[in-house]
Amino acid sequence: MKAIIPVAGVGTRLRPHTFSHPKVLLNVAGKPIIGHIMDKLISAGIDEAIVIVGYLGDMVEDWLTKHYSIKFTFVNQPERLGLAHAIWMCKPYLSKTEPLFIILGDTIFDVDLEPVMNSPFSTLGVKDVEDPRRFGVAVTDGEKILKLVEKPDTPVSKHAIVGLYFLQQAGLLLDSIDHLIDNKIVTKGEYQLTDALQLMIERGEKFTTFPVSGWYDCGKPETLLSTNKILLKNNTARLKTYTGCIINEPVFIADNAILENAIIGPNTTIGEHAVITNTIIKDSIIGNYAKVSSIMLNHSIVGNNAGITGNPNEINIGDYSEIRLG
């Protein structure tokens, strides 16, 4: 089955890191966000992916084709007009009758996809949330979805839509998006996938929901760090011994990173070829080739090739930054 993965966005909320890297290539718990997603999809039997690229799309394409051998089609979305528009760009590569799985490129999930892919109906992944006002939600009759409501003011449903969509037939979705685009129906300035799905419901398509208990957002610095913490708990890679260092697991430390006189962890990712000396780091992500010395870092993100030495304890610096304090 084909998966569509939209990753054309700029990732503004993760600047400065997304100035030099597309969001989906940011490292979380030892591999890029999209690596976690691809591993799940492939183990669920996805053998072909249509990846919608835009901002820094060449980097995404390079990384995916180097690391995975399934069939990829890269579709360029030059203008980011919304998720429905992104899916619509894939039209030439889809047959109307084939089933389709759509997953947002910045959502790491933990769910058994096998029953989802075999579902007799179209189905949307949902997670129950206490405050649904920030999400699109699905109102159900206990079995099928009655309607979808984007960011409801009143608590009509707790079932937040999390970015995993299985559709029985691509054609019905594409027809609904055609309708949005032909009639310029936009919500908050974008062609919304939720609007297209709502139209499908109105046109008689039966949708159910499936529960997604593990849903890890990576869209903001604080969620990237909390996702890093959660995913590191599953890291089973064996650690080397580092003389003069204390390692508090869970951590991910790239094999070729150099650690001297350091206390690392818990909940810390150290990237490839990073050099860490005389330093205490916890709850943080340190990029590839970063140099960190004589400092205590907590709840911090240090970009690739960045260097920091001194004594603050909470920072968020992008690739190639150079900071000397104290």
Residues that bind ligand UTP (CB under 6 A): 6-13, 23, 52, 77, 80-83, 85-86, 104-106, 219
The phi, psi pair for 130, rounded to 5°, reads -70, -45
- Which residue, 52 or 285, has its beta carbon nearer to ligand UTP? 52
Any idea which residue has 């839509």 for tokens? 161
Nearest approach in angstroms of CB 6 to ligand UTP is: 3
Closer by beta carbon to ligand UTP, 185 or else 280: 185
Q: Which is nearer to ligand UTP, 31 or 80 (CB)?
A: 80
Question: Rounded to an integer, what distance in angstroms lies between the CA atom of residue 207 and that of residue 203?
Answer: 11
| Chain centre to alpha carbon of residue 319 | 20
User: Minimum Å distance from CB 164 to ligand UTP?
Assistant: 12
Query: Whose Cβ is closer to ligand UTP: residue 196's or residue 264's?
Result: 196
* CB of 83 vs ligand UTP, minimal distance in Å: 5
Residue with tokens 């004589």: 294
CB of 218 to ligand UTP, least distance (A): 9
Query: Would you put residue 199 in left (φ > 0), alpha (ψ -120 to 50) or beta?
Result: alpha
Which residue lies nearer to ligand UTP by CB, 2 or 23?
23
Residue closest to ligand UTP (Cβ)? 9
| Nearest to ligand UTP of 165, 166 (CB atom) | 165
Note whether 17 and 318 are within 8 A (CB). yes
How near is the Cβ of 244 to ligand UTP at its closest, in Å?
A: 40
* Contact call for residues 231 and 36 (beta carbons, < 8 A): yes
Pairing of strands 268-270, 251-253: parallel
Tell the burial category of 83 from Cβ atoms under 10 Å away from its Cβ (0-12, 13-18, 19+): buried
